[in-house]
Chain A
Amino acid sequence: MILRALGRFVLQAVPVLYIVSLIVFVLVYLTGDPTVMLIPEDATEADRLRLVAAWGLDQPAHVQYLRYMGNLLRGDFGQSYYYGTSALPVVLERLPATLLLTAGAMVVAIVIAVPAGIFAALRRNTPVDFAVSGMAVLSKAMPNFWVGIMLILIFGVQLRLLPVSGAGSFAHLILPAVTLGTAFAGDLAKLVRASLLEALGQDYIRTARAKGIPSSVIVLKHALRNAAIPAVTMTSLNVIALLGGALITETVFAWPGLGQLVVQAIYTKDMAVIQIAILVITVMTLLINFITDLLYRLIDPRIRL
């Protein structure tokens, strides 16, 4: 069954990747000539045209595209105009930081949101429930930029407990992960609460209670399992969004992730970097979707892959 799902994943991935690469090429091509952004300030038009010719940008679009695809099939992902080096390592070396930040943010979100959501559902319409809902709204209302800077000022500047920015150690991960994680935790807590309430109202829960099964077992084993599918869906969507880069948080914390790289590449029309980054993000999106499907199956065996 897994093999069949894997086969379907590969069959889906190939055309998706091809279409995405074509779309990215057309869009970047339409934004114009990258040399405009990359020449030194004291360069003349002649200097610029020399670069245009050297980089093959004077060729018609279809020639550039065919050359690009030809190189791609030979495993050559092209050169980054901006960094003046092979584009593939430029993108791949950002992946660990992005994956780490995504994982960190998800851990923070899940650790906060799942207990809070369960607690709010079990104490429905009590001050606890209202407090959780209030915090959820607040976490959504506070922009990442502001939260990030506040965390820096409190934990970095005033208390001097954590590094202000950069990457390289567990301590560096804490503030950006909390910034991103808390933003998502609000939504997730609300969803867990709502899904759990819905599950707790189902007939099988009433039956379980009638059979005298302890309340904790009913909630954690039966209700939560059925309430998990929407939460898994939302989490996977957030993971996908974060893998594409959390630009603002990365910028605030000088975190060397994909978000900063992609935006910089778009600014400078760095075609090869954009192409590879988007392809990598697409592959990861497909993978996350695949893993999510597997999780669905794990949670609810009735779901067929």
Chain B
Amino acid sequence: MVYRLTSRWNAVPRPAESAAHREMKMTTTRRNVLRLLGSSALAPVVLSVPFAGAALAQAQQVLTIAQSNDILSLDPANHGNNSTESALINIYDYLVRKEFTDGQMHFEPNLALSWETEDQIRWTFDLRDDVKWHDGTPFTAEDVKFTVERTQGDSSLRNTSKFHTIAEVNVLGPHRLEVVTDGRDPLLLHAFVGNGSLIIPKHAFEAAADAEAFFASPIGTGAYRFGRWQRGDRLILERNDDWWGGAPHWNQVVIRGIPETSTRVAELLTGGADIATNIPPEDIERVTGNGATDIASFNIARNFALHVRNEEGFVTHDPRVREAIDLAINREEITQYILAGYGTPTRGLYPPEIPGYNPDLSADGAYDPDRAIELIEEAGAEGAEIVVNTPSGRWVKDREVAEAVVGYLQDIGLNARIEVLDWSVLNDRLQSDSLAEIYLWGMGSYIDASHLLNLGLLERFNPHWTDAEFEKLSGEVGDAATEEDRVAILRRAQQIITDARVRIGILYPKGIYGVSDRVVFPGRFDEMIPAEQVRLA
């Protein structure tokens, strides 16, 4: 099997500028100009038309992104957080890029121009020879080897297992690299994208006193250089004119962490942010009714599912009760009324963009409350107490979805109630295996449906469920002869676990961003916001 891809960076098309857009530019930037003036004691003296024009132009070249979470670290290998990764991808680069077009995920060249493998064990990468670190030093294969080995070798890093299938990395030349895995690994390319995969410079890291010293003012190969970081407030990046991908589109990128939703929305509405992530459905009208901002909604790698206990001692031990729970839930209604339609009802566990998703697990015909009542009666579980655990505010409308589920369970004769848990308590109880009969989980950030067949992960989320066929599939998936065979295994695995109803899919929530009319950004399936994919309208 040979993979050879050579396409260039995808540019987001720049639509024609409308009168409304031009008006918005003036509205938002007037405030920025006032800010600039306000910061200068000499402002009244220097106020002139040319100055205002220059300030306007400069303000337009600043992209401000308001995220719902703070940035945790500038070390790509030491965080487990999408908001952090979304910021870091502007400083550092991945070896390969993951893009999502027409609902399909595919890899594109990035620092690696091309790659090939005959056996999915030995992989050869040809790297770009025109890439420089922000200090001017050329990027080489040694940097990739260093990044992999540093992450593998430091077990205190949170992403230390990112490259766990890699046995060795051999430098074949300044821009040629061989990666050897410890067995067939059809998913190796995934290891080079996502949390923990960004490439860091060997020379600069080794020259720094320690990791902390390096990451205090890091350098990468990305389109933007590190400028300043005020933890809890903002990260400021400056354009890198020597970027291998061409001239960056923004002079400056400001990435802010604003956890409070109403404040984030207010920043968007007043032009303080060009993109605001995670807009709750109830605020959508404020954003669309503003005249200068709009909503971008898009599929993301996340699903809501009920995780149901199956061991003895719980009423849900009876498969009929679990099936009744599955049949009792009106997924269409939940999606429509709680998420205002910003989601897709499903029984599945992986959205269509994820390789290996199972199209048979649709929500069609899944709602059958009459049959659910029959099953509850057959099981003799009328009035049985069932507690649904959920966090509140961790994922969009999580508590509300759990409340609706509780309502549906009450409708079929179960004595259901909700128990909202603080996120840290929920995690503690997950760890100590002391959650109630059902807990709602918004699983996400997966890259492939083989995620389900990771038995270590299964044990974390469904510790008492075992199935001989499922375990057999887990052992076979890595050795599938073709991609078709692999997908068939993954689909079967999803069918088994959803038939067992230890995981009951509810819906795929959509990503909802507020976007200023000043810029164009459609949103990405992986919830990253590369500044180079955001363009002035």
CB within 8 Å of A: which of B387-423? 422-423
Listed residue (A40, A50, A82, A97) with the most chain B CB atoms within 10 angstroms of its CB: A40
Complex-state Cα separation, A157 to B286, whole angstroms? 12
Interface string of B205-216 (1 = CB under 8 A from A): 000000010010
Given the known A-B contacts A36-B428, A54-B155, A254-B257, are A42 and B451 also in contact in the complex, defined by CB atoms under 8 Å? Answer: yes
Cβ–Cβ < 8 Å partners of A171 in chain B = 35, 38
Give every chain B residue within 8 A of A84 (Cβ-Cβ). 72-73, 75, 78-79, 157-158
Tell me which residues across on chain A come within 8 A of B39, comparing CB atoms: 169
Hey, what's the 0/1 contact readout for A24-47 against B, CB within 8 Å counting as 1?
Answer: 000000001100111111111111
Within 8 Å of chain A (Cβ to Cβ): is B266?
A: yes
Chain B hits for A41, CB < 8 A: 80, 443-445
Indicate whether A157 sits within 8 Å of B266 (C-beta atoms), given known contacts A40-B195, A84-B73. Answer: yes
Pairwise interchain contact A167-B72, C-beta atoms closer than 8 A: no
Tell which of A62-70, A183-191, A226-234, A261-269 binds the partner: A261-269
Stretch at the interface among B361-369, B371-379, B452-460, B516-524: B452-460
- Of chain A, the residue at the smallest CB distance from B273 is A164
The closest CB in chain A to the CB of B34 belongs to A160
Does A165 lie at the interface of the complex (its beta carbon under 8 Å from any beta carbon of B)?
yes
CB pair A164–B161 under 8 Å, yes or no, is no
Query: Which chain A residue shows the least CB distance to B254?
Result: A166
Nearest opposing residue in chain B for A86, CB measure: B212
The CA of A200 and the CA of B344, in the complex, are separated in Å by: 71
Top 5 A-B pairs, shortest CB-CB distance: A44-B456, A256-B232, A40-B80, A84-B78, A54-B156
A residues in contact with B132, CB < 8 Å: none
Q: Which of B192-222 contact A (CB under 8 A)?
A: 195, 212, 215
Which residue of chain B has the shortest Cβ distance to A253 in the bound complex?
B263
**Closest-CB distance, A250 to chain B (whole angstroms):** 9
Cβ contacts under 8 Å, B75 to chain A: 84
Interface residues of A (CB under 8 A from B): 32-33, 36-47, 50-51, 53-55, 82-86, 90, 93-94, 97, 149, 152-153, 156-157, 160, 163-169, 171, 251-257, 260-261, 264, 267-269
- Contact size class for B? 35 or more
**Choice from B35, B260, B272 contacting A252 with Cβ under 8 Å:** B260
Interface string of B299-315 (1 = CB under 8 A from A): 00000000000000000
A4 to B268, CA, bound (A): 55
Residues of B within 8 A of A94 (CB): 231-232
Does B336 sit at the interface, judged by CB under 8 A? no
Q: Which of A45, A53, A156, A166 has the most CB of B within 10 A?
A: A166
Contact B159 A40 (CB under 8 A): yes
B233 A166 Cβ-Cβ under 8 A = yes
In the assembled complex, the Cα of A80 lies from the Cα of B232 at a distance in Å of 15
| Distance A51 CA – B156 CA, assembled complex (angstroms) | 6
| Chain A residues in 8 Å Cβ range of B269 | 157
| Complex Cα gap A85–B94 (Å) | 23
Q: Is B272 within 8 A of A164, CB to CB?
A: yes
Q: Decide yes or no whether B259 CB sits under 8 A from chain A.
A: yes
Is B446 an interface position by the 8 A CB rule?
yes
Q: Mark B444-477, 1 if CB is under 8 A from A, else 0.
A: 1110000100101101100000000000000000
Is A37 within 8 A of B156, CB to CB? no
Q: Kindly identify which residue among B35, B270, B446 contacts A157, using a CB–CB cutoff of 8 Å.
A: B270
Is B230's CB within 8 Å of the partner chain A? yes
Contact A156 B443 (CB under 8 A): no
In whole angstroms, how far apart are the Cα atoms of A84 and B151 in the complex?
14
- Residues of B contacting A86 in the complex (Cβ-Cβ under 8 angstroms): 212
* 13 chain-A/chain-B pairs, Cβ below 8 angstroms: A32-B431, A36-B431, A37-B423, A44-B454, A45-B459, A51-B160, A84-B78, A85-B212, A94-B231, A163-B272, A164-B272, A165-B256, A254-B257
CB distance from A10 to the nearest CB of B (A): 31
Complex Cα–Cα for A54 and B72 (A): 20
Known: A45-B456, A51-B158, A53-B155. A260 touches B38 (CB 8 A): no
Q: Does B170 contact A (CB under 8 A)?
A: no
Complex contact B424–A38 (CB within 8 A): no
Contacts of A257 in B (CB 8 A): 232
Complex contacts, B155 vs chain A, CB 8 Å: 50-51, 53-54
- With a cutoff of 8 Å between Cβ atoms, the chain A residues found around residue B149 in the complex are none
Instruction: Determine if B431 and A33 form an interchain contact, defined as CB atoms under 8 angstroms apart.
Output: yes
In the assembled complex, B258 has its CB within 8 A of some CB on chain A = yes
Selected from B195, B256, B445, the residue in CB contact (under 8 A) with A254 is: B256
Complex interface residues of chain B between 482 and 521 (CB less than 8 A to chain A):
none
Q: Which residues of A contact B73 (CB under 8 A)?
A: 83-85
- Cα separation A41 to B460 with both chains bound (whole Å): 10
Closest to A258 in B: B232
- Asked whether B427 is an interface residue with its Cβ less than 8 Å from the other chain, the reply is yes
Contacting A at CB under 8 A, from B48-94, are 70, 72-73, 75, 78-80
**B479 to A: closest C-beta gap in Å:** 20
Chain B residues with CB under 8 Å of A53's CB are 155
Closest to B442 in A: A41
* Smallest beta-carbon distance A201→chain B, Å: 47
B31 touches A160 (CB 8 A): yes
Q: List the B side residues contacting A153 at CB < 8 Å.
A: 266
Do B443 and A268 touch (CB < 8 A)? no
A32-B434 Cα distance, complex, nearest whole Å? 14
Minimum distance in angstroms from B266 CB to a CB of chain A: 5
**Contact status A251-B156, CB under 8 Å:** no
A267 contacts B256, C-beta separation under 8 Å? no
Assuming A94-B231, A171-B35, what are 17 further A-B pairs, CB within 8 angstroms? Answer: A32-B428, A36-B428, A36-B430, A38-B80, A50-B160, A51-B155, A55-B156, A83-B72, A84-B158, A152-B263, A157-B269, A160-B31, A166-B272, A169-B39, A252-B262, A254-B257, A254-B258
Set of chain B residues within 8 Å of A160, measured between Cβ atoms? 31, 270
Tell me whether B267 is interfacial, beta carbon within 8 Å.
yes
> Cβ of A165: which chain B residues have Cβ within 8 Å of it?
256, 258, 260, 263, 266-267, 272
* Nearest Cβ on chain B to A150's Cβ, whole angstroms: 11
| A256 to B259 Cα, complex, angstroms | 11
Bound CA–CA A268/B69 (angstroms): 14
Least Cβ distance of B498 to chain A in Å?
A: 19
B92 CB to closest chain A CB, in angstroms? 16
In the complex, what residues of B have CB within 8 A of residue A40's CB? 80, 158-159, 195, 445
